[in-house]
A and B are shown apart, each in its own frame.
Chain A
Amino acid sequence: MPQIGSFLLLLALALSGYSFVFGLVALIRRDPAFVLIGETARRAGVASFVAVLFAAAILVHAAFTNDFSVAYIYQHSNRDLPAAYKFATLWSGQEGSLLFWSLLLSGYGFVLRLRHRTDERLFAHASVIMAGVQVFFFLLLNFAARPFSMTQGQIPLDGAGLNPLLQYPEMVIHPPMLYLGYVGFTVPFAFALGALIMKYPGDKWIHITRHWTMITWGFLSCGIALGAHWAYYVLGWGGYWGWDPVEIASLLPWLTGTAFLHSVMMQEKRGMLKTWNMWLIFITFGLCIFGTFLTRSGVVSSVHAFAQSSIGNWFIGFLAVIAATCVFFYLYNHSYLRTEHRLESLVSRESSFLFNNVLFLLICLVALSGTLFPIFSEWIQGHKVTVGPPYFNSVTVPFALLLLLLTAVGPLLAWRKTSLESLKRNFLWSTIGALLIGIILIATPASWGPPFGLRPRDDLGYFYSLLAAILAALVILTVFAEFLRGGRVISRHTGNNLLTSILQLGHRNTRRYGGYVVHIGVALVFIGVLGTPMNRSAEKEMGYGDTIQIGPYLLTSRSYTQEETPNYTGDKAIIDVTKDGEPVTTLYPENRMFTATQQPQHVPSVHSLLRGDLYVVFEGKNPETGRPIIKAHLNPLVPWLWLGVLVMLLGTVLALFPNAPPIRAVAPSTVRAVVHAPAGAGD
Chain B
Amino acid sequence: MRLRFSRANFLRMSAVLVLGVFLLGASDDSSRLDRLGHRMMCVCGCSQILMECNHVGCTYSETMRQELSSAIDAGKSDDDAILAGFVEKYGTTVLAAPTHSGFDRVAWFMPLVLLIVGVGGCVWIVHVWHRRHATAPAAAPAGLGADELNRFRDQARKETDL
Interface residues of A (CB under 8 A from B): 235-239, 242, 244, 265, 268-270, 301-303, 342-346, 351, 354-355, 358-359, 361-362, 365-366, 369-370, 373, 376-377, 380-381, 383-391, 394-396, 399, 415-416, 424, 428, 435, 438-439, 442-443, 446, 453, 455-459, 462-463, 466, 509, 511-512, 591, 600, 602, 617, 619-620, 623, 631
Kindly identify which residue among A383, A439, A443, A446 contacts B28, using a CB–CB cutoff of 8 Å: A446
B-side interface mostly: helix
Which residues of B have CB within 8 Å of A462?
Answer: 27
Contact across chains for A270 and B159 when beta carbons are under 8 A apart:
yes
Q: A244-B47, A370-B107 are in contact. Are A365 and B21 (CB under 8 A)?
A: no
Number of A-B contacts (CB under 8 A): 174
Residue ID in chain A nearest B21 by CB atoms: A456
Least CB distance, A616 to chain B, in whole angstroms: 12
Residue ID in chain A nearest B28 by CB atoms: A446
With A366-B111, A389-B49 already in contact, 5 other A-B pairs whose C-beta atoms are closer than 8 Å: A346-B130, A381-B103, A391-B107, A458-B27, A619-B56
Residue ID in chain A nearest B123 by CB atoms: A346
State which residues 96-132 of B face A: CB under 8 Å: 96-99, 102-104, 106-108, 110-111, 114-115, 118-119, 121-123, 125-127, 129-130, 132
Contact across chains for B27 and A384 when beta carbons are under 8 A apart:
no
Q: A343-B126, A354-B125, A424-B5 are in contact. Are A385 and B54 (CB under 8 A)?
A: no
Contact across chains for B39 and A390 when beta carbons are under 8 A apart:
yes
Q: A381-B102, A439-B20 are in contact. Are A301 and B119 (CB under 8 A)?
A: no
Q: A358-B118, A511-B162 are in contact. Are A439 and B17 (CB under 8 A)?
A: yes
Contact across chains for A416 and B41 when beta carbons are under 8 A apart:
no
Contact across chains for A238 and B52 when beta carbons are under 8 A apart:
yes
Which residues of B have CB within 8 Å of A428?
Answer: 3, 5
Contact across chains for A466 and B17 when beta carbons are under 8 A apart:
no
Kindly identify which residue among A244, A370, A384, A390 contacts B38, using a CB–CB cutoff of 8 Å: A390
Q: Report how far A620 CA is from B58 CA in the complex, Å.
A: 11
Which residues of A have CB within 8 Å of B106?
Answer: 373, 376
Residue ID in chain B nearest A512 by CB atoms: B162
Classify chain B: how many residues form its interface, as a range. 35 or more
Q: A384-B92, A399-B115, A458-B26 are in contact. Are A302 and B47 (CB under 8 A)?
A: yes
Could you write out 15 A-B pairs with CB less than 8 Å apart? A237-B54, A344-B130, A346-B130, A366-B110, A366-B111, A385-B104, A386-B95, A387-B97, A387-B98, A388-B41, A399-B115, A455-B26, A457-B22, A466-B21, A602-B56
Interface residues of B (CB under 8 A from A): 3, 5, 17, 20-28, 30, 38-39, 41, 45-49, 52-54, 56-57, 91-99, 102-104, 106-108, 110-111, 114-115, 118-119, 121-123, 125-127, 129-130, 132-133, 158-162
Q: Report how far A380 CA is from B102 CA in the complex, Å.
A: 11
Which residues of B have CB within 8 Å of A351?
Answer: 122, 126
Contact across chains for B56 and A631 when beta carbons are under 8 A apart:
no
Residue ID in chain A nearest B93 by CB atoms: A386
Contact across chains for A358 and B5 when beta carbons are under 8 A apart:
no
Q: A303-B48, A355-B119, A619-B56 are in contact. Are A342 and B110 (CB under 8 A)?
A: no
Q: Report how far A46 CA is from B122 CA in the complex, Å.
A: 44
Q: A455-B26, A509-B161 are in contact. Are A438 and B96 (CB under 8 A)?
A: no
Contact across chains for A268 and B92 when beta carbons are under 8 A apart:
no
Which residues of B have CB within 8 Å of A466?
Answer: 21
Which residues of A have CB within 8 Å of B161?
Answer: 269, 509
Kindly identify which residue among A361, A388, A424, A600 contacts B96, using a CB–CB cutoff of 8 Å: A388
Contact across chains for A361 and B98 when beta carbons are under 8 A apart:
no
Which residues of A have CB within 8 Å of B22?
Answer: 456-457
Which residues of B have CB within 8 Å of A381?
Answer: 102-103
Residue ID in chain B nearest A462 by CB atoms: B27
Which residues of B have CB within 8 Å of A373?
Answer: 98, 106-107
Which residues of A have CB within 8 Å of B93?
Answer: 384-386
Which residues of B have CB within 8 Å of A424?
Answer: 5
Residue ID in chain B nearest A604 by CB atoms: B54
